[in-house]
Amino acid sequence: MSDSYQDATVTHDRENCIGCGMCALLCPRYWSMNPDDGKSDLVDAKKGKNLYQRKVVHEDIDENKAAAEACPVNVIKVHTK
Protein backbone atom coordinates (compact mmCIF):
# COMPACT_ATOMS: atom_id res chain seq x y z
CA MET A 1 0.00 0.00 0.00
CA SER A 2 1.38 3.42 -0.89
CA ASP A 3 1.72 6.26 1.63
CA SER A 4 -1.24 8.06 0.07
CA TYR A 5 -3.56 5.36 1.40
CA GLN A 6 -2.24 5.30 4.96
CA ASP A 7 -3.18 7.45 7.90
CA ALA A 8 -0.68 9.96 9.25
CA THR A 9 0.14 11.87 12.40
CA VAL A 10 0.41 15.65 12.28
CA THR A 11 2.53 17.41 14.89
CA HIS A 12 2.55 21.09 15.78
CA ASP A 13 5.26 22.92 17.71
CA ARG A 14 2.81 25.55 18.89
CA GLU A 15 5.29 27.35 21.14
CA ASN A 16 7.30 28.42 18.08
CA CYS A 17 4.29 29.28 15.91
CA ILE A 18 4.31 32.89 14.68
CA GLY A 19 0.61 32.99 13.78
CA CYS A 20 0.91 33.66 10.05
CA GLY A 21 -2.41 31.83 9.43
CA MET A 22 -1.43 29.89 6.32
CA CYS A 23 -2.32 26.54 7.90
CA ALA A 24 -5.84 27.71 8.78
CA LEU A 25 -6.27 29.18 5.29
CA LEU A 26 -5.13 26.03 3.48
CA CYS A 27 -6.56 23.40 5.82
CA PRO A 28 -9.45 24.87 7.86
CA ARG A 29 -10.88 21.50 8.94
CA TYR A 30 -7.72 20.81 10.93
CA TRP A 31 -6.34 24.27 11.74
CA SER A 32 -7.80 27.37 13.36
CA MET A 33 -6.40 30.62 14.67
CA ASN A 34 -6.60 31.19 18.41
CA PRO A 35 -8.09 34.63 19.15
CA ASP A 36 -6.35 34.79 22.55
CA ASP A 37 -2.74 34.66 21.37
CA GLY A 38 -2.95 34.76 17.56
CA LYS A 39 -1.24 31.38 17.13
CA SER A 40 -2.67 28.44 15.24
CA ASP A 41 -4.35 25.47 16.90
CA LEU A 42 -4.38 21.94 15.51
CA VAL A 43 -8.06 21.08 16.01
CA ASP A 44 -8.71 18.20 18.44
CA ALA A 45 -4.98 17.70 19.04
CA LYS A 46 -3.55 16.19 22.19
CA LYS A 47 -0.58 17.84 23.88
CA GLY A 48 2.44 15.60 24.08
CA LYS A 49 5.71 16.37 25.82
CA ASN A 50 6.64 19.29 23.56
CA LEU A 51 4.22 19.06 20.64
CA TYR A 52 0.54 18.89 19.89
CA GLN A 53 -0.42 15.94 17.72
CA ARG A 54 -3.34 14.18 16.13
CA LYS A 55 -4.04 11.49 13.57
CA VAL A 56 -5.39 12.39 10.15
CA VAL A 57 -7.01 10.08 7.63
CA HIS A 58 -5.31 9.45 4.30
CA GLU A 59 -7.76 11.66 2.42
CA ASP A 60 -6.53 14.67 4.42
CA ILE A 61 -2.77 14.09 4.29
CA ASP A 62 -2.14 16.24 1.21
CA GLU A 63 -4.08 19.18 2.65
CA ASN A 64 -2.03 19.00 5.87
CA LYS A 65 1.20 18.63 3.88
CA ALA A 66 0.30 21.84 2.05
CA ALA A 67 -0.16 23.57 5.41
CA ALA A 68 3.21 22.23 6.58
CA GLU A 69 4.98 23.37 3.42
CA ALA A 70 3.44 26.85 3.67
CA CYS A 71 4.52 27.32 7.30
CA PRO A 72 7.36 29.86 7.28
CA VAL A 73 8.82 28.58 10.57
CA ASN A 74 8.41 24.82 9.91
CA VAL A 75 6.46 24.04 13.07
CA ILE A 76 4.05 21.65 11.31
CA LYS A 77 5.14 18.13 10.39
CA VAL A 78 3.19 15.33 8.71
CA HIS A 79 4.47 11.87 9.64
CA THR A 80 3.37 8.98 7.44
CA LYS A 81 4.09 5.37 8.28
Per-residue pLDDT of the chain (81 residues), as tens digits, is 444 457 999 999 999 999 999 999 999 999 999 999 999 999 999 998 889 999 999 999 999 999 999 999 999 999 997
Dihedral of alpha carbons 69, 74, 80, 81, sign:
positive
Element (H, E) at 40: strand 40-42
Does the model's pTM come out above 0.85? yes
- Position 4 scores a pLDDT of 47
Give which of 2, 10, 8 is closest to 51, Cα–Cα. 10
Structural domains in the chain?
3-80 (3.30.70.20)
- Position 2 scores a pLDDT of 43
